[in-house]
Structure 1
């Protein structure tokens, strides 16, 4: 009853936020307005500084959701601009042409400002300014163009409440120029922190906890880590939220295991947020871009949280791979299982199985599931999740999935279905050739990057498979990213499909 109440409350909040999202576009400096193509006196001064304000009309969008405008024979890309809109754009030349949207003169009907004050396209919300229908068309077009060689994709599956869906958030801590503690995300390709108190994508409770931690740091004499000097304590805070269970994990990522006043800190944090079910200290003393280090200590609770997905319960650790958007994941997995066409007799290989989510969901309809994953911690979690759910027909192995399938083929073993869910970089030829050697009747390819998915599908099509279905799913609203699941059938079997 409590879980249903919480979900209804969140749904109500998102509906309210969405209802209030139709605000006029941001207005910046409206002085020195000029006729089209005629720079003002201010603009001429800016030209001397390699800056100029122009008036331009957007003719289309890039694959990254940026508006396309023409200026002096050059094609420029402008973030937050929509087709058909005329706008004032600041153009600067620093090695290459950079642009900044200054003012939208005639907003498009597709424009929809986000319901929160804190957002930034560099922090991941590249298409927050598009309304739901515009985002849907943009992503459908992206998939349609990528998948054109293989057939017509089905209509994209969208999300009813496309805000606050992320169940995992990481914020970085540092000092600004005034020596004040800030938390936020790194700007792309830099280690400059974009301060952020609220995100379109984050679970509201996660952002709230992070702001509480930031506010506590001064009184507990907790300094953010400085990469240049190597001094300081707190580097990042990672929050995981069980969207269905309501459990919350807080991971303090520190440069040192010495945490002075930790007991009082934990007590104070839990007094403000009693909903926190576990707190961990992760030690990261490296100088690379990895968020989590190898050492981990449980400060409060059991060190993991649980969540429910497709009728199963999963235990999730700080390092577990678990789909970011569980609401859309259920829709995605449902389509993947439909494409696998399981009737209770099939042998299914779950490649890149992670903590076993999709393999365990498939086990409910398959004869036998074999999960293979290179990460030994993930395999341990998969085995634990299998036992937790009383699954008897799934086995999980640590190793390279491609080599595993080659060995299966060499032993004369068969698989009816291979389900593959690789990272954004997709698969390599070695893995794809192992799929071909194993000769499953069906391949279900789940991808968070349709560009590499299309590349890999071309290899499978050239080696005896035929694409039968393409289903895009909007797993990441407000961003340019889109997920897709495709069904490929071995050509000897295709006539029976």
Structure 2
């Protein structure tokens, strides 16, 4: 984005030695204070003509904040096993021993696995020849529980020496509470395959967010920066001003995090999610937290809201947290048909949010508040919570 170079005159030396190669952290050339100014200005430039923009909510922990870490395996020209990230705009793996925005212990677990590969005759998977075994490692950690889930993404279900491998890994890293084998032998940039099996532990971890306990599996979506997520959710709930007489729909509800948090304030919360695995997790999470006024539905959220409006049923608030590409017109028109009094739109892409809220403004909604939150320090991404009310 062009606006991301506005403060380039105030550059600093990036802390990461891989900064120029990797491309994962676009803003390490700026101090954290300047990163916040840049992101706030980005939102003001996009949406400031629609409503005043609040001061961005920053973090005290701009490094090592990610609770989800991903590593790709390959070989270099010397035929040595390497692990790390893809280089900028390529499919070439950069050999990285540590990433300063990922969990430090996750880095160590990966380096341990890489050092074990030769003795266990584990070759990196080659996408072109479809040979080899280990393709990616995905690690999720519970920041408040200390639990670790290690997902080995491999090219084949057959894993010789599996028990001895797990035994050796746990000896060095007893903090690992679960290991999952995920098979992906397709030519694809998608990390996880369809088939997986648990080879150690329960196949998931748990973490605590906003005082609630959540179960997290390999495929379930969970915000990657829990410290900032608590601030984000607190602000979203405050903006929504939910009361005990109100019915809430949480569209794109995932594993039910914001649904379960919002349930403390509402009469009823309905979480709607298309991903079946996430819905299963959400139902389990409601039971774990003993929340009895939240319900989860495995359906397209737009279709569900249209059906609800055709039945003449009303809701007071729709919370929506779509993917980066934002919502489509079908979904937004379903919001208009259902006609909730309030909409809280959480977005990780201000550009698509600006496009979407303009559609809602054309259909009798008015923006009351815009709040940027820095969920992803060192990167050019910024999260924005926007409150719209029915005119």
Kindly state the Cα deviation for residue 260 of structure 1 after the two structures are TM-superposed: 1.0
> Distance in 2 between the 1:313 and 1:418 partners?
23
> Distance in 2 between the 1:442 and 1:480 partners?
29
> In terms of Rg, which structure is larger?
1
Which whole-Å deviations, capped at 9, do the CAs of 1:134-159 have from their partners, x for residues lacking one? 10111011010011231121000001
Is the 8 Å Cα contact of residues 118 and 198 (structure 1) preserved in structure 2? no
| Equivalent in the alignment of 1:457 | 357
**What is the aligned counterpart of 1:204 among 91, 104, 107?**
104
Which whole-Å deviations, capped at 9, do the CAs of 1:325-370 have from their partners, x for residues lacking one? 0000000000111111112110000000011111111001000001
Kindly state the Cα deviation for residue 295 of structure 1 after the two structures are TM-superposed: 1.0
1:132 pairs with 2:32 = yes
Which whole-Å deviations, capped at 9, do the CAs of 1:281-329 have from their partners, x for residues lacking one? 1111111111111111111111100000111000000000000100000
Output aligned runs, 1:99-114, within 5 Å.
108=10, 110-114=11-15
| Equivalent in the alignment of 2:174 | 274
1:300 pairs with 2:216 = no
Report SS of the residue matched to 2:8: coil
Kindly state the Cα deviation for residue 191 of structure 1 after the two structures are TM-superposed: 1.2
Output aligned runs, 1:163-242, within 5 Å.
163-242=63-142
Kindly state the Cα deviation for residue 66 of structure 1 after the two structures are TM-superposed: 4.3
**Please, what is the CA RMSD of the aligned residues?**
1.3
Which whole-Å deviations, capped at 9, do the CAs of 1:242-294 have from their partners, x for residues lacking one? 01111001011100011111111111111111111111111111111111111
Q: How many residues align?
A: 391
**What is the aligned counterpart of 1:347 among 226, 247, 251?**
247
Relative contact order higher in (CA < 8 Å, ≥ 6 apart)? 2
Is the 8 Å Cα contact of residues 415 and 438 (structure 1) preserved in structure 2? yes
Distance 1:151 1:121, change over 3 A: farther
Instruction: Please list every run of 5 or more consecutive structure 2 residues that lacks an aligned counterpart in the other structure.
Output: none
> Distance in 2 between the 1:117 and 1:301 partners?
36
Instruction: Please list every run of 5 or more consecutive structure 1 residues that lacks an aligned counterpart in the other structure.
Output: 1-60, 68-81, 85-107, 492-497
| Equivalent in the alignment of 2:322 | 422
> Distance in 1 between the 2:313 and 2:13 partners?
54
> Distance in 1 between the 2:153 and 2:176 partners?
17
> Distance in 2 between the 1:448 and 1:467 partners?
18
> Distance in 1 between the 2:116 and 2:297 partners?
44
1:248 pairs with 2:148 = yes
Which whole-Å deviations, capped at 9, do the CAs of 1:19-51 have from their partners, x for residues lacking one? xxxxxxxxxxxxxxxxxxxxxxxxxxxxxxxxx
Report SS of the residue matched to 1:314: strand
Report SS of the residue matched to 2:122: coil
> Distance in 2 between the 1:129 and 1:379 partners?
40
Kindly state the Cα deviation for residue 194 of structure 1 after the two structures are TM-superposed: 1.6
> Distance in 1 between the 2:325 and 2:190 partners?
18
Kindly state the Cα deviation for residue 118 of structure 1 after the two structures are TM-superposed: 4.2
Q: TM-score, normalised by structure 2?
A: 0.98
Distance 1:240 1:159, change over 3 A: same
